[in-house]
C-alpha cells in the first residue's frame, strides 16, 4: 500500500465521521419526516478532496447518520443519494478553478440529484408519489443549503491538501 493510498484511506475515514457528525448532530428536526443539516457540505468536500473515491465515505457517513438519527428506512436510499452527490462533485468539479460558473452548475447538478433521489426514495417508502411530491419543498431547501456550502468550500480550495484525487 502506497503512501497516497494510506492518506486517501485516512481522509475517507475522517470524512465519513465528519459527515455523520454534521448530519446527525448539527440539524434542525422537522417531525416526523426529516431534518435539515449541514452534512452535505462535508459530502461535497469528500468529492472535492478524494475525487470519485469520495462517494464511499459520503455514502457510509450519511447511512450512519440516518441510523443514529432514527431514520433507518432511509439508510440505503440516503447512501445512494449522498454517494452520488460526492461522485458527481468528485468526477466533474475542477477544484483548481475555484468558484467558476462551470463548478456552480455542477454543484447545482448535485442538488438536482439530491432532489430526484429523495423524490424516488419518498415515493417508494411512502408508497405514494403524491406524498413524495408534497415533501419536495424540504428537499429543495436542503439542496440549496448544499449549494451554498459547496460554493463556500470552492472559495477556499487553495488550502485543500493536494494529491488525494
- Decide if 137 is inside a domain: yes
User: Is residue 154's pLDDT more than 80?
Assistant: yes
- Decide if 164 is inside a domain: no
- Decide if 91 is inside a domain: yes
- Decide if 165 is inside a domain: no
- Tell me the percentage of the chain whose pLDDT exceeds 70: 97
Q: Which domain holds residue 29?
A: 3-159
- Decide if 104 is inside a domain: yes
Mean of the pLDDT values across residues 132-144? Answer: 93
SS3 83: helix
User: Is residue 32's pLDDT more than 80?
Assistant: no
Stronger pLDDT, 157 or 14, i.e. the higher one: 14
What mean pLDDT, rounded, does the chain reach? Answer: 93
| DSSP string for residues in 12-64 | HHHHHHHHHHHHHTSEEEETTTEEEESHHHHHHHHHHHHGGGGHHHHHHHHHH
One-letter-per-residue 3-state SS of 100-127: CHHHHHHHHHHHHHHHHHHHHHHHHHHC
- All three cell numbers of 140, joined, read 429543495
Q: Name the DSSP class of 108.
A: H
Q: In the chain, how many domains are there? A: 1
- Tell me the percentage of the chain whose pLDDT exceeds 90: 79
State pLDDT tens for residues 68-95: 988 899 999 999 999 999 999 999 999 9
Contact 69, 24 (CB under 8 A): yes
- Decide if 14 is inside a domain: yes
Least confident of 24-28, 102-106, 147-151: 24-28
- All three cell numbers of 125, joined, read 417508502
Contact 110, 146 (CB under 8 A): yes
User: Is residue 29's pLDDT more than 90?
Assistant: no
- What pLDDT score was predicted for residue 163? 67
Mean of the pLDDT values across residues 10-30? Answer: 94
- Helix then strand count (H, E) for the chain reads 7, 2
Q: What is the CATH number of the domain that holds 81?
A: 1.10.1760.20
**Nearest to 78, CA basis, from 55, 94, 97, 59:** 59
Mean of the pLDDT values across residues 24-51? Answer: 89
Amino acid at each position: 500500500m502506497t503512501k497516497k493510498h494510506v492518506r486517501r484511506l485516512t481522509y475517507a475515514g475522517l470524512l465519513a465521521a465528519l459527515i455523520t457528525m454534521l448530519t446527525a448532530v448539527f440539524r434542525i428536526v422537522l417531525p416526523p419526516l426529516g431534518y435539515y443539516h449541514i452534512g452535505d457540505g462535508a459530502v461535497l468536500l469528500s468529492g472535492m478532496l478524494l475525487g470519485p473515491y469520495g462517494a464511499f465515505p459520503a455514502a457510509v457517513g450519511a447511512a450512519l447518520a440516518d441510523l443514529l438519527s432514527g431514520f433507518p428506512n432511509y439508510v440505503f436510499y440516503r447512501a445512494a443519494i449522498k454517494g452520488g452527490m460526492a461522485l458527481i462533485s468528485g468526477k466533474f468539479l475542477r477544484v483548481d478553478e475555484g468558484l467558476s460558473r462551470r463548478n456552480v452548475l455542477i454543484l447545482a447538478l448535485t442538488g438536482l440529484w439530491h432532489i430526484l433521489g429523495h423524490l424516488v426514495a419518498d415515493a417508494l417508502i411512502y408508497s405514494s408519489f403524491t406524498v413524495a411530491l408534497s415533501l419536495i419543498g424540504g428537499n429543495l431547501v436542503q439542496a440549496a443549503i448544499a449549494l451554498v456550502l459547496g460554493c463556500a468550500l470552492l472559495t477556499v480550495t487553495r488550502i485543500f491538501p493536494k494529491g488525494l484525487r
